[in-house]
Amino acid sequence: MALYVDSSVPANLDPTPSNSATIATRTVGTSSQQLIAANPNRKGFSIFNNSSRIVYLGVTTNVSTTANYFTRIPANSLYEWSFASIYTGAVFAIGNGANAICHVLEITP
C-alpha cells in the first residue's frame, strides 16, 4: 500500500518560519476579558492553563462558561490554534473560578 503525503501549503498560510514570539502571563477570572489582542501579523498562538481552573476561550466579549466559547482548556493543559488558517482577531477568556493563570505565546513574523 502506497503512502501519499500532501506537501502542498494552503494559499492562505505563510510557510516562512518565524523567529519572533511574545510570552505573556495573564490572570483570568470569572468575568469575560481579552486574553490576546487582535494582531493581523499573527502566525499562531498557544495558551497554557497553569491553574486548577477551567478556562473557556471565545472570539467575542460575551464568552461565558456555558455559551459563546470555541474551546475549554482543562486545568494544567495546553491549547494551540491548529486550524489551516490563522485567526488574527482578539481572543477572550473566562474561568470557572478566580485566578486562573494563563501563559500566552503569540508567534509573529
* Coil, helix or strand at residue 69: coil
Q: Check residue 76 and give its pLDDT.
A: 98
In order of start, what are the domains of the chain with their CATH numbers? 20-108 (2.60.120.770)
Q: Check residue 52 and give its pLDDT.
A: 97
Query: What ranges make up the beta strands (E) of 1-109?
Result: 20-28, 33-36, 44-49, 55-58, 71-73, 77-80, 91-95, 100-108
The cell 485567526 sits on which residue? 87
Helices (H) and strands (E) in the chain, counts: 0, 8
Q: Which residues pair with 22 in a beta bridge?
A: 106
Which pLDDT tens digit goes with each residue over 53-81?
999 999 999 999 999 999 999 999 999 98
pTM above threshold 0.95: no
Which pLDDT tens digit goes with each residue over 26-62?
999 999 999 999 999 888 999 999 999 999 999 999 9
* Predicted confidence (pLDDT) at residue 100 exceeds the cutoff of 70: yes
